[in-house]
Amino acid sequence: MSTRISDVADALELAAGDATNWENACNIIGDYMGAEGVVFVPANPHFRGPWMSCSTALKKTLPEYLENEWHLHDPREAVTVKMLEDTIATDADIYPDRAARFEIPIYRDFLCRHNFGVVSGVKILTPNGYFGLFIHYANDHPGMCDEEYAKLLELQKLVEESVIKAHHTAHEKIAAFAQFFSGSESEVFVLDQHGAQTLRIDTHGKMVERNDLESLWPAEIRSQMHEELVDLCSSNSDLSLSTSYAFKENQDFITVLVIQAPSNLRHFFMPLKVVAIRTLCSDSVAIKQRRLSEEFELTNAEITATELLSSGNTPSSIATLLGLKASTVRQRLKTIFGKTDVSGQVELVALYNEL
């Protein structure tokens, strides 16, 4: 049975609630349009990179696309410009002579080789600017007909509705995520791929949309820490990386846990890349952290897992919190058990409380 617009609507509904479903939504859109591949691309080149979502077939070609640096000299930028002006555009609008178009290096050596040689795009308004929903058809596709034009306009409306819903849902989830730290004197900073702050959730759970990133780090280490932060922000979002820092500011002990945002919040159009949790620690917590480090040689990541376990979190909730696989957390805990010479979670929590 052929894919219907209702199937597309159902797939977009799932993607709006969980960003990990956008790839499947792209697959369904591709089936609906009779296309070989689908990709959402930021109209602003500065947002290119991790802020894309695409169908499975097209995703497989991205490593080659980047390795050969086609993104640095892609003549299809002209199609994006026309799409922003006219809502819908095709590469035939820019290069009407198909034979000549297929001799352009990126078409001849990349797109046509993967059977993605005919492209149409419709602009999608998001809270992070315009994106293009680009449909890649097979090389022998005759070009856009009236039916396909109507379908693209229909898709534009559905996708923009899903984007609005996803935007609100993601903010609700990031606020709920911050509640893991409620009552712990913690502030949550949400950052984009460039390490710039997009919003903050204070110790009372209030969401504040202003840039006060300078309060995350002490002035004397701010430049060094920001460089490390940008490296993490711009890394592969599929790696679920995390790191933590501890330092003294005035007379206070501070810890900063930096993690990639949970995968279900990483919508292609949203600048939610990394979460930094800054916590004011009591003297006793600081002493525990120092002893875990010095006496048992636990890493910062292992200390964080120990503290989260001791505060009542399960390995599964720790995995959700840190954006890791549950198996990764369990393996990390096994390493901690070995270093601290305990037999399991109960003994580890008891050891932590006795420090």
pLDDT in the model for residue 231: 73
> How many C-alpha atoms does 329 have within 13 Å on its Cβ side?
22
Over the stretch 242-259, which tens digit does the pLDDT of each residue have?
Answer: 677 777 777 777 878 787
d(CA 79, CA 90): 6
Mean pLDDT to the nearest integer, 274-281: 80
pLDDT in the model for residue 150: 96
Over 50: is that where the pLDDT of 309 sits?
yes
Q: Clarify whether residues 115 and 180 are in a common domain.
A: no
Q: Clarify whether residues 154 and 272 are in a common domain.
A: no
**Residue 14 in 3-state DSSP?**
helix
Residue 213 sits at the vertex; the CA angle it makes with 209 and 214, to the nearest 5 degrees, is 140
pLDDT: which is higher, 122 or 283: 122
Mean pLDDT to the nearest integer, 25-40: 96
Most confident of 155-159, 211-215, 300-304: 155-159
pLDDT in the model for residue 183: 54
Mean pLDDT to the nearest integer, 288-311: 85
pLDDT in the model for residue 4: 94
Q: Clarify whether residues 133 and 21 are in a common domain.
A: yes
Most confident of 47-51, 104-108, 271-275: 104-108
Percent of the chain at pLDDT > 90 equals 41
Q: Domain end: 167, 193, 212, which one?
A: 167
Q: Domain end: 145, 167, 189, which one?
A: 167
**Residue 281 in 3-state DSSP?**
strand
- Domains held by the chain: number: 2
* Residue 107: partners with Cβ closer than 8 Å, 6 or more residues away: 101, 117
What's the mean per-residue pLDDT of the chain? 85
DSSP of 87-147: SEEEHHHH---HHHHTTSHHIIIIIGGGT--EEEEEEEEETTEEEEEEEEE-TT-----HH
Most confident of 102-116, 214-228, 259-273: 102-116
pLDDT: which is higher, 323 or 259: 259
Closest Cα partner for 347 from 300, 294, 310, 304? 310
pLDDT: which is higher, 287 or 6: 6
- Band (pLDDT 50/70/90 cuts) for residue 47 is low
pLDDT in the model for residue 29: 97
Over 70: is that where the pLDDT of 240 sits?
no
Q: Clarify whether residues 159 and 279 are in a common domain.
A: no
Least confident of 228-232, 274-278, 302-306, 331-335: 228-232
- Band (pLDDT 50/70/90 cuts) for residue 1 is very low
Most confident of 63-77, 96-110, 321-335: 96-110
280 token code pair? 């004011």
Range of the domain at 245: 171-354
CATH number of the domain to which 348 belongs: 1.10.10.10
Q: Clarify whether residues 66 and 124 are in a common domain.
A: yes
pLDDT: which is higher, 346 or 33: 33
Sheet order of strands, 274-281 included = 207-208, 197-201, 186-191, 274-281, 252-260, 242-249
Q: Clarify whether residues 266 and 347 are in a common domain.
A: yes
Q: Clarify whether residues 97 and 187 are in a common domain.
A: no
Q: Clarify whether residues 71 and 132 are in a common domain.
A: yes
pLDDT in the model for residue 323: 67
Mean pLDDT to the nearest integer, 268-278: 82
- pTM for the model stands at 0.79
Q: Clarify whether residues 212 and 95 are in a common domain.
A: no
CATH number of the domain to which 95 belongs: 3.30.450.80
Over the stretch 179-218, which tens digit does the pLDDT of each residue have?
Answer: 666 556 778 888 877 777 778 877 776 777 766 777 787 7
Q: Are 181 and 205 in contact (CB under 8 A)?
A: no
d(CA 193, CA 237): 10
Over 70: is that where the pLDDT of 284 sits?
yes
DSSP of 336-354: HHHHHT-SSHHHHHHHHHH
Q: Clarify whether residues 209 and 158 are in a common domain.
A: no
Over 60: is that where the pLDDT of 84 sits?
yes
Q: Are 124 and 40 in contact (CB under 8 A)?
A: yes
Could you tell me where the DSSP H helices lie in 209-325?
A: 222-233, 283-294, 300-310, 315-322
Q: Clarify whether residues 119 and 233 are in a common domain.
A: no
Q: What is the dihedral of CA 135, 141, 142, 145, to 10 degrees?
A: -40
10 token code pair? 């159902």
pLDDT in the model for residue 22: 96
Percent of the chain at pLDDT > 70 equals 90
Q: Domain end: 105, 137, 167, which one?
A: 167
d(CA 68, CA 114): 15
Q: Clarify whether residues 47 and 161 are in a common domain.
A: yes
Q: Are 100 and 118 in contact (CB under 8 A)?
A: no
